[in-house]
Structure 1
Amino acid sequence: MTRTQATLIGFSAIVLWALLALLTVGSAPVPPLQLNAVCFAIGGAIGLIWIAVTGSFGALRRVSWKVYAFGTVALFGYHLLYFTALRLAPPAEASLIAYLWPLLIVLFSGLLPGEHLKPLHIIGALVAFAGAGLIVARGGISARAEALPGYGLAFLCALTWSGYSLVSRRLGTAPTAAVAIYCLATAVLSAIAHLFLEETTWPTTGPGWLAILALGIGPVGLAFYTWDIGVKRGDIQLLGTASYAAPLLSTLALIATGIVGASPILLLAAFMIAAGAFLAAMASRSR
């Protein structure tokens, strides 16, 4: 596989993640932990099929349990936070805040040993966080006090995924097949937690079932495998820059389906987040 091919495969994950908010909204009223369990079971099953076809089971035995634990905690934690955030706050706003993770990846990587933050990093951070502030304050913060917990969880999503992506760079020798174990372990943990903390609720309509199936196949399935291939074998900086299109695509998908209105402030916030993250990426590329 060439570097260009791996990069193109990584791009597909960005497109799939842009549908995460739309499909999560469509899966209501399924509670977050139950949704986690079902979607990751589907994603893990896809991985097992791929491993069987490629004969990669032997490679899994050489992966440290610490790597499996890390991947499982990251995937379980991120999606629990994300699904819960979209239940507690307006989906467009929560999704945009969660999509601050590309910016955080750039900023946190600049703080690693041997790296330095540049003025564009700081400018990009300020622009992006100003965009996040716009969507939280849209219509007045006091009028949206009930949504603040959802906003907070969405920001924790951004922190979780940026941390996962950065640490994954140091685990480059771990095979992509290991992602299947992350998914299956996350499904088991989610199912156990669901039984103790939630009441089982299934979709009442056909579109609801289709949304769950689509989540498990795409944003909570194939996307993890293609992203892993992209960041380990492709152009990581190009992929990071392209990730900033995700919040724009996510918002456009919600608007196109009529879930949210195309308000000027919401669109401005989306472009500010994307523009701020892009400036930070340019600072990194200039090094």
Structure 2
Amino acid sequence: MPSQVTRLRATMIGATAVLMWSTLGLFGAASGGVPPFLLNALCFGIAGLGATAWLALRGRLVLMRQPCRVYGFGILGLFGFHFFYFTAIRNAPPVDANLINYTWPLLIVVFSAFLPGERLKIQHVAGTLLGLGGAALLILRGDGLALDGDAAPGYFAAVASALFWSGYSVLSRRLGSVPTEAVAGFCLGTSLLSVAAHLVFETTVWPQGTGEWSAVLGLAAFPVGLAFFVWDIGVKRGDIQVLGAFAYTAPVSSTLLLIVFGFGDFTLVVMAACALVTLGALVAAKDMLFGRFTKKTGGVAAGERVEE
């Protein structure tokens, strides 16, 4: 990453993570019957090793040398989110668990108000709520919430997954001096913990054939790889509230990709969800779109430089 980056550019870089996460459904569907924690271990392992090799070739491996507390934070954030998410969808109706989990963008927007130099504006809240409405419409598809009492552990796990990812994203801002290169170590640590979880909870099923292995490599390259590096840039140096609202484009984009590749149909519900999420993102990014970033104490105005 360049040594200097503007707030606007950092926001745009971070937004590419959301676009990459929209391919999760497509690549996941093509990866066959590989159990979640094993898939997690493979993808984070490949991504971490690839990033480490790239840093070594560029002579930047030294940037991965960080205090244990930094690695503890990063690994706990990445692994904790995935652990609780997989636990949620196994112990609660997947639709309900997915919807509860997708409160994390809203939580990012709310929690960001407590960051130094940040101020929560009405358009951030309104835009994020519109996005949540669009995601809910898409996920529920008219089925409604089941809220089965026997699935309470799964619901709690879904809440935990949302809290882990929103907490990781917001608190990353407080570690602005930690270089993004350290994310390579986060990925490697997450892979190791995922191996342990796989051995405890799952039966091993490896990818079969070139197609499934290609899907695993696609996951490792983008939604379970590069996405976490660009997200780190975005949440540390960009407009975290705009990123939170924009995150609701992920379930919509994912659905549209599945439709394009023949895994679903384009319906009025999908169209309405697209409209709500798009409107929400536009509302939340009003200041950015019209170039009216305001200079905040400890914050950065558009066009100003942020030193790494």
Q: TM-score range by the shorter chain?
A: 0.7 to 0.9
Larger mean CA deviation between 246-255 and 125-134 belongs to 125-134
How many angstroms does 1:71 deviate by? 0.6
| Offset at residue 202 of structure 1 (A) | 1.8
Once residues 220 and 181 of structure 1 are traced to their aligned partners in structure 2, the CA distance between those partners, rounded to angstroms, is 14
- AA matched with 2:144: I
Change (3 A) 1:273 1:179: same
- Aligned position for 1:127: 130
Equivalent AA in structure 2 for residue 263 of structure 1: T
Q: Percent identity?
A: 48
Which of residues 197, 211, 214 in structure 2 aligns to 1:193? 197
Q: Separation in 2 of the partners of 1:72 and 1:122?
A: 29
Which of 175, 179, 182 is matched with 2:179 structurally?
175
AA in 2 matched with 1:19 = T
Instruction: Point out where structure 2 has 5 or more consecutive residues left out of the alignment.
Output: 295-308
Residue 33 of structure 2, aligned match among 21, 29, 47: 29
Q: Which residue of 2 aligns with 1:264?
A: 268
Cα-to-partner distance string for 1:235-270 (whole Å, 9 max, x where unaligned): 656655654543332221111112222221133234
C-alpha distance in structure 1 between counterparts of 2:110 and 2:177, whole Å = 24
Query: Match of 2:5?
Result: 3
Q: Cα 1:119–1:6, aligned 2, differ >3 Å: closer, same or farther?
A: closer
Offset of residue 33 of structure 1: 0.9
Deviates more, 1:97-106 or 1:156-165: 97-106
Instruction: Give 1:76's aligned residue.
Output: 79
Would you say the 8 A contact 1:68–1:182 is kept in 2? yes
SS of residue paired to 2:109: helix
Asked if 1:138 corresponds to 2:141, the answer is: yes
| Secondary structure, aligned partner of 2:175 | coil
Counterparts of 2:285 and 2:110, CA distance in 1: 9
Query: Relative to structure 2, which stretch is displaced further, 260-269 or 69-78?
Result: 260-269
Select which of 165, 169, 180 maps to 2:169. 165
TM-score by length of 1: 0.80
Query: What residue number does 2:300 align with?
Result: none
Counterpart pick for 1:275 among 243, 256, 279: 279
SS for the counterpart of 1:28 is: coil
Work out whether residues 102 and 243 of structure 1, in 8 Å CA contact, stay in contact via their aligned partners in 2.
yes
Amino acid at match of 2:111: F
- Alpha-carbon offset, residue 193 of structure 1: 1.4
Give the letter for the 1:141 counterpart.
G
Q: Structure 1 residue 89: deviation in Å?
A: 6.1
Name whichever structure is richer in helix by fraction.
1
> CA-atom RMSD, angstroms?
3.6
Instruction: Give, in whole Å, the separation in 1 of the partners of 2:136 and 2:218.
Output: 31
- 2: CA distance, partners of 1:149 / 1:22: 28
Residues 174-253 of structure 1 mapped to structure 2, 5 A cutoff: 174-233=178-237, 243-253=247-257
* Partners of 1:98 and 1:157 within 8 A in 2: yes
2:301 aligned partner: none
**2:35–2:205 CA contact under 8 A, matched in 1:** yes
Cα distance in 2 for partners of 1:85, 1:70 equals 22
1:195 counterpart letter in structure 2: L
Aligned residue for 1:269, secondary structure, equals helix
Number of the residue aligned with 2:112: 109
Worse-matched range after superposition: 238-247 or 105-114: 238-247
> Could you tell me which amino acid in structure 2 is paired with residue 3 of structure 1?
V
Q: Quick one: distance in 2 between partners of 1:188 and 1:83? A: 16
Task: Measure, in 2, the Cα distance between the counterparts of 1:84 and 1:53.
Answer: 38
* CA distance in 1 between partners of 2:171 and 2:133 (Å): 27
Tell me the distance in 2 between the aligned counterparts of 1:109 and 1:168: 11
State how far apart, in whole Å, the 2-side matches of 1:98 and 1:270 are.
19
Opposite residue 221 of structure 2, the aligned amino acid is: I
1:113 CA drift (Å): 6.4
3-state SS, counterpart of residue 3 of structure 1: strand
What are structure 1's unaligned runs of at least 5 residues?
none
